Structure 1
Amino acid sequence: MQRRYIPIATIVAIMLAVAVAGYLNPVEEQEVPARVVMDNTGGRVIFNHQFHAEDYGYDCTDCHHDDIESDTFLSCGSCHPSEFNEQFRADHQKAFPSEEACLRCHDDVPEGELAEEDRPDTDSIPLRADAFHTQCMDCHEQDGGPYEEDACYQCHAR
Structure 2
Amino acid sequence: MKNRYIPITIIVAVLCATALVGYLTPSGEQEVPPRVILDNAGGRVIFTHAAHTEDYGFACVDCHHDGIGQEKFISCGSCHPAAFDETFRAEHQNNFESEDACLRCHYDTPQEELAEDNRPDTEFIPTRADAFHAQCMNCHEDMGAGPYGDDTCYDCHAR
TM-score (norm 2): 0.84
CA deviation map 1:92-139 (0-9, x unaligned) = 011111111111111111112112222111111011111100111111
Question: Matches of residues 7-156 of structure 1 in structure 2 within 5 Å?
Answer: 11=12, 14-24=15-25, 26-27=26-27, 29-149=29-149, 150-156=151-157
Change (3 A) 1:12 1:45: farther
Q: Give the deviation of 1:49 after TM superposition.
A: 1.4
Q: Is the 8 A contact 2:74 2:95 kept in 1?
A: yes
Whether the aligned pair in 2 keeps the contact of 1:83 and 1:127 (CA below 8 Å) is yes
Percent identical residues: 57
- Alignment check: 8 A CA contact 2:147 2:155 kept: no
Structure 1: tracts of 5 or more residues without a match: 1-5
1:23-76: per-residue Cα shift (whole Å, max 9, x none)? 33x445545432111111111111011101111111111111114132211111
Q: Is the 8 A contact 2:70 2:96 kept in 1?
A: no
Give the length in aligned residue pairs: 155
Distance in 2 of aligned mates of 1:12 and 1:156: 46
How far is the alpha carbon of 1:151 from its aligned partner? 1.6
Cα distance, 1:12 vs structure 2: 6.9
Alignment RMSD (CA, Å): 2.5
